[in-house]
Amino acid sequence: MITVIKNAQVMSPKFLGNKDVLLIDSTIAAIEDNIVIQSDAVAIEVIEATGKILVPGFIDSLVHVTGGGGEGGFTTRTPALNLSDATTAGITTLVAALGTDAVTRSLPDVLAKVKALNEEGLTAYCYTGSYHIPVTTLTGSVTQDIMLVSEMIGVGEVAIADHRSSQPTVNELAKVAAEARVGGMLSGKSGIVSIHCGDGPSQLKLLEQVVAQTDIPITQFYPTHINRNQSLLDAGVGFAKAGGFIDLTTSTTAHALAHGEIKCAQALTYLIKQQVPLSNITFSSDGHASLPDFDQHGRLQQLLVGEEKSLFAEVRDAVLEQNLALADALSVITCNPASVLGLNHKGRIEVGFDADVVLLSGPELEIDSVWAKGQKMVETGNALIKGRFE
């Protein structure tokens, strides 16, 4: 597979200028002013991209690929992701997780789906573990899972400050984080601990206590849903300024926004104004999760399904509505999650990096074309390659 994308405005996510980008097999092979390749021996696809913006494929650090939910009973279990749900959203790398339900949902099922997505051309990983401590594992140990299963790069999402959590203690959470840390170190992975933050009043205190009382660094934790309400967002400001990573969830509902959730595009602007280091901020879609709305007694009111396309939609809104620089907004779904997750060949347009590329077109920054590991998955917004059962 050889592709030359001609004369695009290349953003690494930093602006590199108008360049030609050469993809050979699954790798970005060259970024030059003018690339001309002639060969009768191999097929070369040349894409004219004048006026289009070429950016890294998006990284979504939390997707419930086998479905999630179930908080309203069995009929509210959400469906599984299809390949094109990710690719048409510009997502070329994702990390899968179990959710609230680790009884009817299982790690073998998540891992099988992750393997299928990799076979279909995406780059997919997963977390071992689950919402509740003791966490569910594949081999009986978080450390072993991360060391021995190539797709498993961390643990989570472990729930804190939530009426659906196992109400974990400092000691319990520290043990899980320690296991993930060691497993990550011994296998050259991040061993990151994905943390689901609920709307409980303890917010991020449990993480702060683990960091204060143990030798585990703050960077081991990756709390998500930080834009759930203003008070949690402010706790996130403190956490990130202390060196921690914070993740905002792009999937939302009108009900959630009306009841205090902060739209990601606005939350990102707020965090930057609060002088939170941009490199410590990421977005994830929480795709295919349930989006339950509870009343003040914890009773389910309605339940929708999270969408992967919300990931870039919020980056686009940050640029078009909040006037953030495109390079800055892009970083929260490209180089920043790559760095947090320890994915060293992802998240940048750079020679030697994986050929995960999105072309954006027009003033509305529409997703035009998508390549995953050098394979064209989307053209003029439509999926060229679909999952087997789509």
Q: How far apart are CA 55 and CA 312, in angstroms?
A: 12
In the bound complex, which residue of the shown chain has the CB atom lying closest to Zn ion?
196
- Separation in Å, CA 219 to CA 51, 193, 208: 39, 9, 11
Q: How far apart are CA 335 and CA 257, in angstroms?
A: 28
Task: Indicate the length of the chain as a whole number.
Answer: 390
Least distance to Zn ion from the beta carbon of 374, Å? 32
Residue 108's Cβ-count burial label (10 Å; 0-12, 13-18, 19+) is exposed
Least distance to Zn ion from the beta carbon of 228, Å? 10
Phi, psi of 62 (to 5 degrees): -155, 105
Q: Which is nearer to Zn ion, 105 or 196 (CB)?
A: 196
Q: Residue 58: CB partners within 8 Å, gap ≥ 6?
A: 89, 90, 91, 92, 93, 311, 312, 333, 334, 358
Least distance to Zn ion from the beta carbon of 362, Å? 33
Quote the tokens at residue 340: 């947090």
Largest CA distance in the chain: 69
The residues of the shown chain that bind Zn ion, judged by CB under 5 A, are 196
Q: Which is nearer to Zn ion, 121 or 306 (CB)?
A: 306
Question: What single letter denotes the amino acid at residue 365?
Answer: L
Least distance to Zn ion from the beta carbon of 352, Å? 34
Quote the tokens at residue 45: 């696809």
Cβ neighbour number for residue 250 with a 10 Å cutoff:
29
Q: Which is nearer to Zn ion, 196 or 263 (CB)?
A: 196
Least distance to Zn ion from the beta carbon of 306, Å? 10
Element at 355 (helix H, strand E): none
Q: Which is nearer to Zn ion, 244 or 374 (CB)?
A: 244
Question: What single letter denotes the amino acid at residue 105?
Answer: R
Give the single-character DSSP code of 132.
S
Quote the tokens at residue 152: 């498993």
Q: Which of 286, 317, 354, 368 is catalytic?
A: 286
Q: Which is nearer to Zn ion, 101 or 354 (CB)?
A: 101
Q: Which is nearer to Zn ion, 113 or 196 (CB)?
A: 196
Least distance to Zn ion from the beta carbon of 338, Å? 21
Known catalytic residue at 145 = no
* Catalytic sites, residue numbers: 286
